[in-house]
Amino acid sequence: MPNHESYLREATELALANVAEGGRPYGAVIVRDGEVVARAANRIHATNDPSDHAEMVAIRAASQQLGRPKLDDCIVYASGRPCPMCHAAMRLAGVKQGYFAFTAEEAEAEGLLSAGIYAELCRPLEEQPMQVRHLPLADDPSPYRAWAERKGR
């Protein structure tokens, strides 16, 4: 039985160390069969890459470590509740289990990303502050159809 608290504590220590280096307060550890596959902290201060959240950096590292995009046998430990981007990335990678130590509300109380973004993204597209619009290209071939044909469907 994995020691969830111990891995969460490690993720939290990565977050604290990252703050000391001028970064954001997030860390993540990915574990498979009781072995740590990847450790990461938020890297945006160092790379300017807005996707370099701790969980995302760890997911990318784990995929390279394991040589496959599926992480369905991995557990993700995050110091804070994964944001919607990282949550969806975990889900798309097939992760079945994750743990976090600090909540989105605790982050919000210290002036970090609002917990409200989860709810925002669940509203219909036309009601979200980011305007994402469907503009059909009626006469263009569908990439989806092309993909299905290549797969012999």
Please report the sign of the dihedral spanned by the C-alpha atoms of residue 91, residue 93, residue 97, residue 99.
negative
Supply the minimum distance, in Å, between the C-beta of residue 1 and its own copies. Answer: 14
Q: What amino acid is encoded at 87 in this protein?
A: H
CB-CB contact of 79 with 11 (8 Å): yes
Supply the minimum distance, in Å, between the C-beta of residue 27 and its own copies. Answer: 7
Marked catalytic residue, from 55, 110, 120, 127 = 55
Please report the sign of the dihedral spanned by the C-alpha atoms of residue 141, residue 144, residue 146, residue 148.
negative
Nearer to its own copies, 34 or 142 (CB): 142
Nearer to its own copies, 34 or 91 (CB): 91
Q: Can 55 be counted among the known catalytic residues? A: yes
Nearer to its own copies, 36 or 117 (CB): 117
The residues carrying an active-site annotation are: 55
